[in-house]
Amino acid sequence: MKNNIRVERAIIRISQQELADRVGVSRQTINAIELEKYTPSAIVIMKIAFIFNKRVEEIFSLEENDWK
Amino acid sequence: MKIILYICSINQLKKLFMKKSYLFPNYFKKIGWAVSIPSIIYYILIICFDNLDFKIKMFSIFPSDQVFKESSWFSITDTTFGLTFLPMLLMLSLVFIAFSREKIEDELISKIREKSLIWSVLVFMSLFIFCTLLLYGMLYYYFYIFNIYLLLILMIFKFNFEIYKLKKSLKNEE
């Protein structure tokens, strides 16, 4: 799953730690999500979208591998 | 003593059982390490030097290993510290280390813990099958004793290794 969390963070000027605190996860988790090493749960995805005030599909997108 | 009283207090027990997670609080990890390291050292010393173990009397449901005494149900039997309290202490301490919450316990950590548990079970079974087929005599006996703790040791190793890799790959924020 692809995401553009890093870009969105830069737009609203918040750090990984701040985003992690607002979502309720660790900074390591946010970093792993940004590096696409970890696929978060639906709750975390929706929380991130809410914080950025965007729709989920504007931040996250499925890849071909996700359909297998 | 104070720690035991605190742990056993009714409120703490309620919190423990009402939580969705069955993990111990984070400070149990320190207790686990503090108990497990001396236990492992003492275990190795007992194996090397028999006279370091000391005899104790324990209540037994049925002491089946008494050769020259008559055995009866629910009686006091002679045993050693190394055969009773030491294995129990070591097992408990390893459980505390393996199943204590991290300081920040989130879904990624839970996922890593779950993967570590599955990995450790698979490796444990592979090693058990391998050693059962290829080891015999006293070597197998020692492996069998060590086998009791192997699953937890594997899980602790794998979990901490994955956490280390995760922290190492953490990039600095822009």
| Helix B138-168 / helix A27-34 crossing angle, nearest 10 deg | 80
CB B106 within 8 A of CB A25: yes
Minimal CA–CA distance to B79: which of B107, B60, B52?
B60
The total of other beta-carbon atoms located within 10 Å of residue A33's CB is: 26
State in Å, rounded, how far the first CA of chain A is from the last one.
12
pLDDT given at position B116: 96
A5 interfacial to chain B (CB closer than 8 Å): no
Residue in chain B nearest A6 by alpha carbon: B174
Instruction: Tell me the C-alpha distance between B65 and B83, whole Å.
Output: 13
Cα of A29 vs its chain's centroid, Å: 9
- How would DSSP label each residue in A23-60? HTS-HHHHHHHHTTS----HHHHHHHHHHHTS-HHHHE
Cβ contact (<8 Å) for A29 and B108? Answer: yes
pLDDT tens for each residue of A2-55: 899 999 999 999 999 999 999 999 988 999 999 888 999 999 999 999 999 999
Cβ contact (<8 Å) for B167 and A28? Answer: yes
Q: What pTM was estimated for this model as a whole? A: 0.79
**Sequence-separated (6 or more) residues with CB below 8 Å from residue B59:** B74, B75, B76, B77
Strands A60-61 and A2-3, sheet pairing: antiparallel
The total of other beta-carbon atoms located within 10 Å of residue B113's CB is: 21
C-alpha neighbours within 13 Å on the C-beta side of residue B161: 11
CB B115 within 8 A of CB B162: yes
Minimal CA–CA distance to B90: which of B48, B141, B152, B45?
B152
pLDDT given at position B72: 72
Instruction: Tell me the C-alpha distance between B91 and B101, whole Å.
Output: 18
Interface test with B, best of A14, A26, A33 (most B CBs within 10 A): A26
Amino acid at B49: F
* Cβ neighbours of A16 in B, within 8 Å: 173
pLDDT given at position A50: 94
pLDDT given at position B174: 41
Minimal CA–CA distance to B41: which of B108, B100, B93, B114?
B93
Backbone φ, ψ for residue B17 (5° rounding) = -85, -20
Instruction: Tell me the C-alpha distance between A52 and B125, whole Å.
Output: 47
3-state secondary structure of B172: coil
Q: What is the mean pLDDT of each run of 10 residues along chain B (174 residues)?
A: 66 59 90 94 85 81 64 79 88 95 89 95 95 91 88 95 86 47
Amino acid at B84: T
